[in-house]
Chain A
Amino acid sequence: MENNTLLSIKNLQTYFELKRWGFLSAGFVKAVDGVSFELAKGESVTIVGESGSGKTTLLRTIMGLAKPTGGEMVFDGRRLNGERGQMGRDTRWLRSQVGFVQQDPYGALPSFMNVRRILREPLIVNKVKKEEQEHRVRESMEEVRLIPADDFLPKFPHMLSGGQQQRLVIARAIILHPMLIAADEPVSMLDASVRVEILELIGRIQRDHNLAVIYVTHDLSSVRYFSQRAFVMYAAKMVEKADVREIVNNPLHPYTQVLLNAIPDPDAQNATRFRDVPPGEPPSLINPPAGCRFHPRCQHIIEGLCDEEEPPEFEPEPHHFVECWLYK
């Protein structure tokens, strides 16, 4: 039976230990604390959240850059244990299966290497044969439309525009033929008119090669057209999961509602009224509040419940999951 699930995560935990004076333990930063979801092959999802929500750590854990400390992760049928341990073959294999597209295109490229070298590095590291290397380099360049390739290959990153740099980053991400692309705010540092171009590019590559894509962003409006589902993260927990359309039109979790409400559309009317914003700040990941982590800022708090017990996941509507006591 062909399993269509690429990635399955159950109760994933990624904690970082804080050390005082080099060796005394001073608590844990619980960056990812019990996250579960499934990603099908070729599916595109967006993880939405603010800074401190744990979304970047989640992404890095999926890519093999951060070590999970608990829970279970299964990638393409391979079980990756969530224990602390040495960097095993599993991690190395995982890294070659996930392509990384970062936020800052210029920072993501070594300034002292030219385009050809930048693209060859992942191939060299993963021991791809030399003849194959040249072929793959050109193939990637064509995929991202950095053509004619010969014009670009000898150039250095500072000679390219922001959009071209990001294309190069994408070319590098797909050159190992990964099954998943992890994109961390891929367009937030680009101009407005270029963003759509890049997102469409990723979308096309995704469709052509049946790649799965995980976008991590706080700007839901830009990726809305490029992903199928959206997951909302708050304080290291995934509070809502649904189709993008559902999330935008029918947000169920109070935090999602508040978040969407705070995102402006370009409209002259905005200047005439104030926005409803919850007071306070996201909680610390070292010492999160008891019960539901959003309860100190929530309008719909149920006394005695929300502030004491963590809500489990409910499915009030088909394929629409919420971690909120309101939907018991």
Chain B
Amino acid sequence: MGKLWAWLKIKELRRYPSLAAGVILVFLFVVLSLYAVVSIPYSEAVRLWRGGPGVWDDYPRNAEPVWFDLFTRDQLSRTIVVPFGAGLKTEEPLANGMKRVETLLPFSFEYDTFPVELSMFTLTTEVTNATVSWHTPDGRIITLIEGRRLNRGRTTYYISQDELLKNQLEGMAPHRGLFADPEDRGKPLRGEYQLVVEAELGDADELDAKLVVYGQIHGLGGTDHNKRDLMVALLWGAPVGLMFGILAAIGAQVSTFVLAGVGTWLGGKIDRVFQWVTQVNLILPVLPILIMIGHFYSRSIWTMLGLVIALNVFSAAMLTYRSMFLQLKESAYIEAAQAYGAGDARIIFRYLLPKLAPTLLPQFVLVVPSFVFLEATLSVLGLGDPILPTWGKIINDAYTQGALYKGLYYWIVQPAALLMLMGVGFALIGFSLDRIFNPRLRTV
């Protein structure tokens, strides 16, 4: 390894700007991966991606990334959450031993575009009926619903999907109508709003309400159809992709290299068997096999990784290495080693492999992106790991949800761009390394 550093002199690096660019890119991805793993720990990531009761409640559906805001003069609406316990509660005891509970949920709306959805969540200890009303900044009060049944525990009132309310608001969808400026119905009214929930409860019971005003934009990556924050997957796609790519590359390339050396040196039957296996393996279609196994057996990423490695060990690279080792086998220093009594194992691992190991590096770097893409391809085809958030999965979702038809370009472009950049980064490094290492090794 020391010799490796001696070769990679700074001067050499300066002569290859593409190498520097590639290194920077890959380094950024490594930093991104570390950040992803640290800021959103694995269990958290899985929880956020897989969902569950109430996990996605606070996120808008198909929201665009917040930086879209930079490109419009209007202030695009963001999600406002008035969480449980934030409302103002007043209680009024009633004659029949019950009490009248009024919960006031205030919020400030200072955006130029309408929210995309409006929902209210309530938590009660006992079944009751509630009346919900809406107070606008300019003093109007709109009753949203009267006598709405609230179940014990958690109930959701999808305000924006209330048809009656829609009719009440002259055909405007509630999340627009409730905010519309009376003077200019196309724009929302800015100011302080309040949602008031009134209900009658028994003395010992409790009622709490939460309001979520879903904005148009959310997060650095936007959200998807399941209201999932895309940043989770965009961030986590980096370590998953890197890990898969690098492990597969190591597993496949290094094994191929070692086996090529062993087979070529030992020659005879072993060499013939290896060659035969390689030739058969070359014909096998990798992707269909992966698809089959994914369908019928398991889609876990470790299974896929193992399979990919297994199918790539006896690859075309085996034949390339074999021809290089064949040439090397006749070298004078190998003959000298035999002359002083070195055995087969020693010759393979101390004399043959180290001589060609430097070629391994550029090959290795170049093959990483192809495995990253392979993993993404599997995800896009719907065979990705079911729990892991990956870039391929985003693209898969986007595709099945018709993102392009709906004009939600960011949904596809973001993961695709990241995939491409990662590929470009490795390619830049790999090709530069190739140029650095190969001229010297042409005398092999």
- Asked whether A125 is an interface residue with its Cβ less than 8 Å from the other chain, the reply is yes
CB within 8 Å of A: which B342-401 residues? 342-343, 346, 350-351, 354-355
CB within 8 Å of A: which B253-275 residues? 272
CA distance in complex: A321, B351 (Å)? 43
A108 contact set on B, CB distance < 8 A:
332-333, 335-336
Interface of chain A, helix or strand or loop or mixed?
loop
CB within 8 Å of A: which B316-347 residues? 331-333, 335-343, 346
| A107 contact from B272, B333, B338, B341, Cβ within 8 A | B333
A96 contact set on B, CB distance < 8 A:
340-341
B356 to chain A: closest residue by CB: A112
B337 contact set on A, CB distance < 8 A:
110, 121, 125
- Asked whether A13 is an interface residue with its Cβ less than 8 Å from the other chain, the reply is no
Please tell me the number of chain B residues within 8 Å of chain A, measured between CB atoms.
19
Name the distance in Å between A60's Cβ and chain B's nearest Cβ.
8
CA distance in complex: A95, B343 (Å)? 12
Whether A103 contacts B340 in the complex (CB less than 8 A), given A110-B355, A112-B355, comes out as no
- Asked whether B3 is an interface residue with its Cβ less than 8 Å from the other chain, the reply is yes
Count of inter-chain pairs, beta carbons less than 8 A: 62
Among B3, B340, B341, B343, max chain A CB count under 10 A is at B340
| A92 contact from B272, B332, B341, Cβ within 8 A | B341
| B341 contact from A104, A125, A169, A172, Cβ within 8 A | A125
- Asked whether A215 is an interface residue with its Cβ less than 8 Å from the other chain, the reply is no
Query: A125 near B331 (CB under 8 angstroms)?
Result: no
Whether A111 contacts B355 in the complex (CB less than 8 A), given A95-B338, A96-B340, comes out as yes
Whether A65 contacts B338 in the complex (CB less than 8 A), given A102-B332, A107-B331, A112-B354, comes out as yes
Query: A95 near B341 (CB under 8 angstroms)?
Result: yes
Name the distance in Å between A35's Cβ and chain B's nearest Cβ.
20
B343 contact set on A, CB distance < 8 A:
125
| B336 contact from A92, A102, A156, Cβ within 8 A | A102
Categorize the interface residue count of chain A.
20 to 34
Name the distance in Å between B330's Cβ and chain A's nearest Cβ.
10
B2 to chain A: closest residue by CB: A114
- Asked whether A109 is an interface residue with its Cβ less than 8 Å from the other chain, the reply is yes
A257 contact set on B, CB distance < 8 A:
none
Name the distance in Å between A77's Cβ and chain B's nearest Cβ.
20
Name the distance in Å between B187's Cβ and chain A's nearest Cβ.
73
A111 contact set on B, CB distance < 8 A:
355
Query: A125 near B340 (CB under 8 angstroms)?
Result: yes
- Asked whether A162 is an interface residue with its Cβ less than 8 Å from the other chain, the reply is no
B336 contact set on A, CB distance < 8 A:
100, 102, 108-109, 169, 172
Among B331, B339, B355, max chain A CB count under 10 A is at B339
CA distance in complex: A111, B354 (Å)? 10
Query: B332 near A104 (CB under 8 angstroms)?
Result: yes
Taken residue by residue from 104 to 132, chain A's Cβ proximity to chain B (1 for < 8 Å, 0 otherwise) reads as 10011111100000000110011000000
B337 to chain A: closest residue by CB: A121
B342 to chain A: closest residue by CB: A125
- Asked whether A216 is an interface residue with its Cβ less than 8 Å from the other chain, the reply is no
Query: A110 near B341 (CB under 8 angstroms)?
Result: no
Query: A63 near B333 (CB under 8 angstroms)?
Result: no
CA distance in complex: A111, B355 (Å)? 8
Name the distance in Å between B398's Cβ and chain A's nearest Cβ.
49
Taken residue by residue from 190 to 211, chain B's Cβ proximity to chain A (1 for < 8 Å, 0 otherwise) reads as 0000000000000000000000
A100 contact set on B, CB distance < 8 A:
335-336, 339-340
User: 4 shortest A-B CB distances, which residue pairs?
Assistant: A107-B332, A122-B340, A100-B339, A108-B332
What are some 23 contacts across the A-B interface (CB < 8 A)?
A63-B339, A64-B339, A65-B338, A92-B341, A95-B339, A95-B340, A96-B341, A98-B339, A100-B335, A100-B336, A100-B340, A102-B336, A107-B332, A107-B333, A108-B335, A109-B333, A110-B333, A110-B355, A111-B355, A121-B340, A122-B340, A122-B341, A125-B346
B-side residues, CB < 8 A to A, are 3, 272, 331-333, 335-343, 346, 350-351, 354-355
Q: A99-B339, A110-B333 are in contact. List 20 more A-B contacts (CB 8 A).
A: A22-B272, A64-B339, A65-B335, A95-B338, A99-B340, A100-B336, A102-B332, A104-B332, A108-B332, A108-B333, A112-B354, A121-B337, A121-B340, A121-B350, A125-B337, A125-B340, A125-B346, A126-B341, A169-B336, A172-B340
A-side residues, CB < 8 A to B, are 22, 63-65, 92, 95-96, 98-100, 102-104, 107-112, 121-122, 125-126, 156, 169, 172, 176
